[in-house]
Amino acid sequence: MPQTLQLINPMDMHLHLREGKLLESVLPFTTQAFSAAVVMPNLKIPITTTALVNDYKEHIISLSSATFTPLMTLYLTPSLTREELLLARDAGIRILKLYPKGATTGSENGVKDILCEKTLQVFAIAEELGFILSIHGESNGFCMEREYEFLPIFAYIAEHFPKLRIIIEHMSDRRSLEMIEKYENLYATLTLHHITLNLDDVCGGMLNPHLFCKPMLKSRKDQQALLEAALKAHPKISFGSDSAPHLESAKLSSKGAAGIFSAPVLLPALTQLFESHNALDSLQSFVSDRAIEIYQLQDFTQKSITLEKIQYNVPERIDTPLGAIVPLFAGQNLSWRIKE
């Protein structure tokens, strides 16, 4: 078995970096491992204008190493105008992020009626201008069926806007796989946690609030189907961690926050996972090549990451000036680590 592995231009196509001291604390875990990452816009003040995107991007770059490219997103609202979208395009913003109102963290300003006339007009302009539409695709129904219940909306948008590239973010339900096969312009991202864990890991024994996320971890059958798609580097699926840091105090409350902080373990854990399934040859495609193809990426920093087969002890907690964060696989040992 190989003792080192080289990955060229790893891409994280779904990342939460937060803001302030939390941003400063979590950003290095991504810049160490990835060439570029798609940065989510659901901050306390949503990133709904090009000016706000530019300010956020400049702040991230000021804190980043020279070998990292933040790929910025614009928070979609029905009030987005052609003028604003032209400004965004000219500023290099290529991704619009749609949150159904109330579906997840920071979605209070999301879209209530996704198929209303105003939102459809935004989709039409986005299609014309060449944007990518990334969607947190969940209904407000029963938590385990929300992604499935949202699939008709994906179908409607894909059918009516055939030149608009649409992303099913953090796909969690195996029934979504059929949808991306059906529509040429529909793609998806997969997280590490949805291909390694299922609902039993959250509450099958003792409750583990650090694994509470949205969309929820689903059944073993869902996990296995999504894992199989990742292991073969499905041509319409790219890797997107949905790493979402919350302070331990926010996770361990009566209204625990949804989100898993996976950034510290992503590449070592993925390498271990793919190796265990004799699929290391597919890892480069899953964590890089597919993203470059699907998102048609050209302007990003070139980076080569070497992983070595040396045990990595995942810390129990990661301290920040605001308090501790518990990472995914806290306290566990991984068989690979990033070479320093």
Q: Is 182 helix (H, G, I), strand (E, B) or coil?
A: helix
258 among the known binding-site residues?
Answer: yes
Would the pLDDT of 311 be above 90?
Answer: yes
210 among the known binding-site residues?
Answer: no
Question: What is the set of domains in the chain, with CATH numbers?
Answer: 4-338 (3.20.20.140)
277 among the known binding-site residues?
Answer: no
- Confidence band (pLDDT; 50, 70, 90) for 301? confident
Q: What is the mean pLDDT of the chain?
A: 96
Average pLDDT over residues 52-81: 95
Catalytic-role residue among 113, 242, 281, 289: 242
What's this model's pTM, rounded to 2 decimal places? Answer: 0.96
- Confidence band (pLDDT; 50, 70, 90) for 103? low
Would the pLDDT of 106 be above 90?
Answer: no
* pLDDT tens figures, 187-208: 999 999 999 999 999 999 999 9
pLDDT value, residue 84: 98
- Confidence band (pLDDT; 50, 70, 90) for 67? confident
Would the pLDDT of 60 be above 80?
Answer: yes
- Confidence band (pLDDT; 50, 70, 90) for 105? low
pLDDT value, residue 177: 98
Share of the chain above pLDDT 70, in %: 98
- Confidence band (pLDDT; 50, 70, 90) for 20? very high
Average pLDDT over residues 77-100: 97
Average pLDDT over residues 93-106: 84
pLDDT value, residue 108: 74
* pLDDT tens figures, 145-177: 999 999 999 999 999 999 999 999 999 999 999
Would the pLDDT of 2 be above 80?
Answer: no
Q: Please compute Rg for the chain using Cα positions.
A: 19
170 among the known binding-site residues?
Answer: yes
Give catalytic status of residue 242 as yes or no. Answer: yes
30-34 CB contacts, 8 Å cutoff, 24+ apart: 30/68, 30/243, 30/263, 31/64, 31/65, 31/67, 31/68, 32/65, 32/338, 33/263, 33/266, 33/267, 33/305, 33/338, 34/10, 34/68, 34/303
* pLDDT tens figures, 224-238: 999 999 999 999 999
Would the pLDDT of 104 be above 80?
Answer: no
Would the pLDDT of 1 be above 80?
Answer: no
Average pLDDT over residues 20-36: 97
Would the pLDDT of 76 be above 90?
Answer: yes
CA distances from 93 to 50, 80, 178, 311 (A): 8, 14, 30, 39
Q: Is 19 helix (H, G, I), strand (E, B) or coil?
A: coil
Average pLDDT over residues 112-137: 96
The distance in angstroms from the start CA to the end CA of the chain is 21
42 among the known binding-site residues?
Answer: yes
113 among the known binding-site residues?
Answer: no
